[in-house]
Chain A
């Protein structure tokens, strides 16, 4: 019977080509627009490290200005970064399974003498303690990260991104080789595979959708080599800062800090440790604001930092309103079409079709429109996203149509079609047998 309805549906669609095209177009447009905005929204709001969401925590402490909170409209939130001295202090605790203190800087890469065709180039560096790689599950192409000893001794070792390895070494296994940065030699201990978590959850301060840094090196090198910060530096206190040392000791916040806590008990213990530490610091006159230390999981961290911009939310909402208009349009078209074919329905009823047979027949027809509209809509979304790419320039990874969104788009299409068809199908099912056949 389904095959029969399928045949009838296709014949019916062929019979009124204009209406068929319009109904499919109505769904396609609505789906196209919605899928486009939803894809961007979905990619923007995705959690790239979902599988470790329960164990990773961003650490923030409120040591900010007593006269005004960091966020004027959300005073319960501490600033997003720590001071250097607080980060150093926290690094010494071993309550957490793992911990990482980090910040950005820039260096110039001098390619090996052999490659004179490549000029020195500037890259962004992430200065981080060694736990970074295990905590954030970074994939390695060659080699690995460095150990605690390398951190403690501030060894000149680096992990390269795939791109940097490509540019500096032509992509070979460069583990053990030397790379010259800012006039100093470093040893390559690892090369990452292509890794660009979207959004860049571990450091949302400068561009949540920026690409990951190109070189990673031990955090302590930032101090021993006095490497200039390249991220956000914020200072509330009027302090005399005339040397790099004084800068490190100041109340300026510029360090990102994360911990890995494998159990609720550890979370509690670490929280207690934070509170105790701040209690001690308060006695020294620091941390003038009320005690407010937070441990936020990645999903919450992304919310707090408002990664998805308001604009995107507005666009998603407007898209669905557009879909509503498409739906209304469809209902009208289907109504006109089904009622226009009422005499034939009346005939079928006379010949013995039950109401449910008529309903099923038209459900299949509407389903066909839904599927066709969905496919056409996804094609439109494809074009839409390709066009959007120009408007998202450096954020290409925000305009990728992944399989999940394809599925969502199709489901919405068929659901919209069914919804639109409800009333017209109900009306056509009420056509009385042979009523339209009375000729006298």
Chain B
């Protein structure tokens, strides 16, 4: 027996209190559904594969400042020494670091000329060990040869003779056609041949729209800044970082600005998203807690107000279970009413968020999950006061005080 009618009319006698809880439920649903959705988005974003062997690579930045500093010589000797260290899989020069917030971007064309359509690409300059050092496996073509690596040490607009591209970039530029062997042109009409394709590699900027449209150019860095990427055997990374730092420190004509694992850059790039996840997570928990407390409060209030009535019902034959059921059903009705309003609010809020802040549209299953969560929360919350109600003695009916 659900006693819907009496429940509804009883609720309407305590209209204000019921409305208060309903509103709480509605707002909580709207916030929790959207917050959970945003959290999932961010977690997904943060779990995107970098494409390189992030667990085992680390990066070095060196700045040569002494007058007459022979950058090329230092780079070559640095890399030779590093490669000789036990535990090093490979080491290469590298112009900038993936997901570090710093890097270079250019436009590329399939045919030369001012009017040809261009595609943007984030490029990294490496030497012939770069593929190995980054840990990006080739899926087509070949690596750079040593003679293809450019060594110009000043400002230059010379292009490189060859490039290696990611699958996504190849798709952007060539569509479904194979890329290896094709020519790529820069804005000045200079051509480079695509010699290889790598599976995937993320570029420099974490919020870029075409994050994985990346190219590799064979070129050594221009002074004064030189960066290297070193790939360690699994488990050896941290020890090698210390060793490399020590090794390079002996040259006092330059500053070794830092030696850092990729994690350092990843953490920094994803900090804003992590912030959002943590904050929203805390908000969700507190909001559910608060609403749960609101439900407990209302139920306790109703139990108190109805004490005499409940005693009387027990006196005329209602079981404890019936009393319990009454409160559970009442709570379910309240939660459902609040949820109906909440669903409207959730989608309205989600719609506004996606328009105002260029976020994707709220996925409906989050709202459904939210409703489910609130049903469960509500029933659990009302359980304690409801059990108290069920325990009210039928003798209350005859008491006069």
- A residues within 8 Å of B by Cβ? 22, 26, 29, 33, 37, 106-108, 110, 119-122, 181-184, 228, 238-244, 246-247, 309-311, 313-315, 318-319, 321-322, 324-326, 328-329, 331-333, 335-336, 340, 388, 391-393, 423
**Beta-carbon contacts of B46-74 to A below 8 Å, as 1s and 0s?**
00000000000000000101110100000
CB < 8 Å neighbour of A314 from B157, B297, B353: B353
In the bound complex, how far is the Cα of B67 from the Cα of A108, in angstroms? 12
Q: Does B156 have its Cβ within 8 Å of any Cβ on chain A?
A: yes
Contact, CB under 8 Å: A391 / B31: no
**Beta-carbon contacts of B4-22 to A below 8 Å, as 1s and 0s?**
0000000000001100110
In the bound complex, how far is the Cα of B95 from the Cα of A257, in angstroms? 29
Smallest Cβ-Cβ distance to B14: which chain A residue: A335
In the bound complex, how far is the Cα of B252 from the Cα of A110, in angstroms? 10
B301 nearest CB across to chain A (Å): 5
In the bound complex, how far is the Cα of B314 from the Cα of A199, in angstroms? 68
Additional 7 contacts, C-beta under 8 A, given A318-B283, A322-B286: A106-B63, A182-B224, A241-B155, A247-B155, A314-B353, A322-B287, A335-B16
Contact, CB under 8 Å: B225 / A228: yes
Q: Does B206 have its Cβ within 8 Å of any Cβ on chain A?
A: no
Contact, CB under 8 Å: A119 / B255: yes
Q: Across the interface, which residues of A come within 8 angstroms of B358, CB to CB? A: 310
Smallest Cβ-Cβ distance to A234: which chain B residue: B105
Majority DSSP secondary structure for residues of B touching A: helix
Smallest Cβ-Cβ distance to A233: which chain B residue: B104
With contacts A106-B63, A333-B297 known, is A328 near B20, CB below 8 A?
A: yes
Q: Across the interface, which residues of B come within 8 angstroms of A110, CB to CB? A: 65
Smallest Cβ-Cβ distance to A329: which chain B residue: B294
In the bound complex, how far is the Cα of B187 from the Cα of A85, in angstroms? 22
Q: Across the interface, which residues of A come within 8 angstroms of B114, CB to CB? A: 238
**Beta-carbon contacts of B269-308 to A below 8 Å, as 1s and 0s?**
0011011101110010011001101100110110010000
Q: Across the interface, which residues of A come within 8 angstroms of B156, CB to CB? A: 241-242
In the bound complex, how far is the Cα of B17 from the Cα of A336, in angstroms? 9
**Beta-carbon contacts of B27-61 to A below 8 Å, as 1s and 0s?**
11011000100100000000000000000000000
In the bound complex, how far is the Cα of B276 from the Cα of A375, in angstroms? 26
A206 nearest CB across to chain B (Å): 8
With contacts A228-B224, A336-B297 known, is A388 near B155, CB below 8 A?
A: no
Q: Across the interface, which residues of A come within 8 angstroms of B23, CB to CB? A: 328
B280 nearest CB across to chain A (Å): 7
With contacts A240-B157, A242-B156, A332-B21 known, is A322 near B252, CB below 8 A?
A: no
Q: Does B325 have its Cβ within 8 Å of any Cβ on chain A?
A: no
B185 nearest CB across to chain A (Å): 10
Q: Across the interface, which residues of A come within 8 angstroms of B63, CB to CB? A: 106, 108, 122
Q: Does B24 have its Cβ within 8 Å of any Cβ on chain A?
A: yes
- List 24 interface pairs A-B (beta carbons < 8 Å), by A numbering: A26-B290, A29-B286, A106-B224, A119-B249, A119-B252, A182-B65, A183-B65, A183-B66, A183-B69, A238-B114, A241-B155, A241-B157, A242-B158, A311-B276, A314-B353, A321-B30, A322-B286, A325-B28, A328-B21, A329-B20, A333-B297, A336-B301, A340-B304, A423-B16
Q: Does B257 have its Cβ within 8 Å of any Cβ on chain A?
A: yes
CB < 8 Å neighbour of B27 from A238, A324, A335, A392: A324
CB < 8 Å neighbour of B157 from A239, A315, A331, A393: A239
Q: Does B317 have its Cβ within 8 Å of any Cβ on chain A?
A: no
In the bound complex, how far is the Cα of B220 from the Cα of A88, in angstroms? 32
Q: Across the interface, which residues of B come within 8 angstroms of A313, CB to CB? A: 357
Q: Does B254 have its Cβ within 8 Å of any Cβ on chain A?
A: yes
**Interface positions of B from 221 to 253, Cβ below 8 Å from A:** 224-225, 249, 252
Q: Does B175 have its Cβ within 8 Å of any Cβ on chain A?
A: no
Smallest Cβ-Cβ distance to A424: which chain B residue: B16
Contact, CB under 8 Å: A332 / B294: yes
Q: Across the interface, which residues of A come within 8 angstroms of B388, CB to CB? A: none
With contacts A244-B155, A314-B357, A322-B287 known, is A329 near B24, CB below 8 A?
A: yes
**Beta-carbon contacts of B372-397 to A below 8 Å, as 1s and 0s?**
00000000000000000000000000
Which has the most chain B C-beta neighbours within 10 Å: A107, A122, A322? A122
In the bound complex, how far is the Cα of B257 from the Cα of A107, in angstroms? 11
A320 nearest CB across to chain B (Å): 10
Q: Does B188 have its Cβ within 8 Å of any Cβ on chain A?
A: yes
In the bound complex, how far is the Cα of B30 from the Cα of A122, in angstroms? 50
Contact, CB under 8 Å: B297 / A22: yes
A207 nearest CB across to chain B (Å): 8
Smallest Cβ-Cβ distance to A319: which chain B residue: B283
Q: Does B154 have its Cβ within 8 Å of any Cβ on chain A?
A: yes
In the bound complex, how far is the Cα of B224 from the Cα of A329, in angstroms? 62
With contacts A310-B358, A314-B353 known, is A325 near B65, CB below 8 A?
A: no
Q: Across the interface, which residues of A come within 8 angstroms of B286, CB to CB? A: 29, 33, 322
Contact, CB under 8 Å: B275 / A311: yes
Which has the most chain A C-beta neighbours within 10 Å: B28, B255, B291? B255
Q: Does B171 have its Cβ within 8 Å of any Cβ on chain A?
A: no
Closest 4 CB pairs of A and B: A238-B187, A108-B65, A183-B67, A310-B357
Contact, CB under 8 Å: A321 / B31: yes
Q: Across the interface, which residues of B come within 8 angstroms of A315, CB to CB? A: 276, 279-280
Contact, CB under 8 Å: A246 / B155: yes
B246 nearest CB across to chain A (Å): 13
Q: Across the interface, which residues of A come within 8 angstroms of B255, CB to CB? A: 108, 119-122
Q: Across the interface, which residues of B come within 8 angstroms of A37, CB to CB? A: 279
A311 nearest CB across to chain B (Å): 5
CB < 8 Å neighbour of A238 from B188, B275, B283, B293: B188
In the bound complex, how far is the Cα of B392 from the Cα of A128, in angstroms? 81
Q: Across the interface, which residues of B come within 8 angstroms of A243, CB to CB? A: 154-155
**Beta-carbon contacts of B109-149 to A below 8 Å, as 1s and 0s?**
00000100000000000000000000000000000000000
Contact, CB under 8 Å: A391 / B271: yes
In the bound complex, how far is the Cα of B69 from the Cα of A184, in angstroms? 13
Contact, CB under 8 Å: A388 / B27: no
A167 nearest CB across to chain B (Å): 13
Smallest Cβ-Cβ distance to A121: which chain B residue: B255
In the bound complex, how far is the Cα of B83 from the Cα of A428, in angstroms? 82
Q: Does B361 have its Cβ within 8 Å of any Cβ on chain A?
A: no
A305 nearest CB across to chain B (Å): 15
Q: Across the interface, which residues of A come within 8 angstroms of B27, CB to CB? A: 321, 324-325, 328
With contacts A22-B297, A33-B286, A241-B157 known, is A325 near B24, CB below 8 A?
A: yes
Q: Across the interface, which residues of B come within 8 angstroms of A33, CB to CB? A: 283, 286
B44 nearest CB across to chain A (Å): 16
**Beta-carbon contacts of B173-188 to A below 8 Å, as 1s and 0s?**
0000000000000111
In the bound complex, how far is the Cα of B188 from the Cα of A79, in angstroms? 23
Contact, CB under 8 Å: A309 / B272: yes
Contact, CB under 8 Å: B16 / A329: no
